[in-house]
Structure 1
Amino acid sequence: MTSVITVSHLGKTYATGHAALKEVSLDIRRGEIFALLGPNGAGKTTLISIICGLVNATSGTVTVAGHDIVTDYRAARSRIGLVPQELTTDSFESVWATVSFSRGLFGRRASPAYIEKVLKSLSLWDKKDAKIMTLSGGMKRRVLIAKALAHEPEVLFLDEPSAGVDVELRRDMWRLVRELRDGGVTIILTTHYLEEAEEMADRVGVIAKGELILVEEKATLMTKLGKKQLTIELATPLPAVPEALGPYALARSPDGACLTYSYTATTTGEDDAGRSIAGLLAALDREGIAFKDLHTEQSSLEDIFVSLVRRAP
């Protein structure tokens, strides 16, 4: 897949001396959903703001669809739609007027049919003549999304789009995101709802303390870093784990009723040291340990994210 955004050695240091970004390099592919994850203050919003031309970088370059964001700002910015965290809208304008104005702001010809399509897709059509100031917070969030889409951008940034919105809007928003991606639009989102990133994203980037510490296909990331746990419910509680089972590093529950085996599965069904669940069950049988149930769990993207951030220098 070709890159629609290329970030090269990007740095941002504020006048206070705080380095918000440090040598960040990143390629975002055309037509993908890319989740940018990181704790508060990690540099997510700074990175987005630089790409969108709202903040000047200290060093490095960014191109959007081949256009440099500094030397060819208008062409680069016209390819981008941005849904910011803050609910900043034109309070005294109607929904229709503010969305239509956003389209004209980027030099697009008027297209009432397209504006109607966007408003209907966000369940805003019945509010098209309402003043922004009369809308609820959730409806104002919908208007921000409509404004970002008004000029038919190639790239859509969603900066914490689910913050403070209701379940219905969240569902509508993710349905629209999928439709846009299927239509070739590139989506970059930041979110604290990691289950959403796990469900929606094609690739994941993790940023911590201004450094991009990982960029990976989501499926590959889950396979490489996701841990699995096998919990064995015993027929009879064990007072201690037999020495013969030591290689499996089993965790015994306080009451001795369960054993837990943590592992990273490979394509062969074995863990990193070549041990298999079948081998563990055979070892239990040799020790005369009967069990009544087995169940497995796999690490979520949230588990992986927390682990990566904790290990960040």
Structure 2
Amino acid sequence: MAHRELPASAAGPNLNQFVAGSEGILGVITAATVKIHRVPAERDYRGFFFKDFEAGAKAVRTILQEELPVAMLRLSDGPETHFLQSFSAAQKPPGALERAAMQALAWRGYGEGRCLMIVGLEGDRETVLESQVRTRAIIERLGGVHLGNRPGERWYSKRFAMPYMRDPMLDRGIAVETLETSVRWSDLHNLYRGVHLAIHDALRDNAADPEARAIVMCHLSHGYVDGASLYFTMIFPQKQGAEVEQWLAIKRAASDAIVAGGGTISHHHGVGTDHAPWLLREKGEVGVALLAGLKDSLDPKHTCNPGKVLPG
């Protein structure tokens, strides 16, 4: 491949992002500039409950569209909230005071189906305090109830522990799989329901046995002014001897539902080879032709990462 310099001053940030996000099919990155930030003087992570996922998503959208300086917004749907709280309780059973508080919230309507939101704020003290007041005002106006810092601090301290459970569970015949998409706010809830139903039906139709039960969870952890990502997690017993076929059936059903609902076939996991068959339906003929034209121009011999991203 011929060397082609793409300085930011000449190419602009959009083309640089295009090349960086192409999963290696347009070239090789040989140098990078790293920007270092100071450790924030103040860090505040706290939790809120919403009665349902739609109310929580509306709060996320409002906070982002008002451009408040948040470090993190994470909204779990009802099944994920239940799973996380049950998992936490199994590790450390709640005390009498915590059980009483949960019961009181249930009486107020924050019971079955409630959704947990974690709001993270970082920066100088004044910025964090101002953002804390403004985010809480939005959340409570839209039906959220404040839980204090404990849920946020617990999430922050344990945020890297959960993925390490995947391999031991696979060793015991329990699959843990994830997939994600992104969509405009106007289509988010229809897409959420459509993909959730498609995964649920595929898990039922491809269950290990008639008594097998699965868990389908979702959270919103990457939000923008114009839309957000939906991140689904599935936990299910594997079909012994047909694990790949079971996974493929579930993956196809979810991917079909994502594209049919107007979502992107991936948000940050990438297209690779698994998602390439759905890229044409998402991007359209013009979009795929544009990417293929760049590939032919920058890598005419198709040396870089052949077979990835582009269908066929």
Task: Give me the TM-score of the superposition, normalised by structure 2.
Answer: 0.28
What is the TM-score when the length of structure 1 is the normalising length?
0.28
Bigger share in helix: 2
Higher strand share: 1
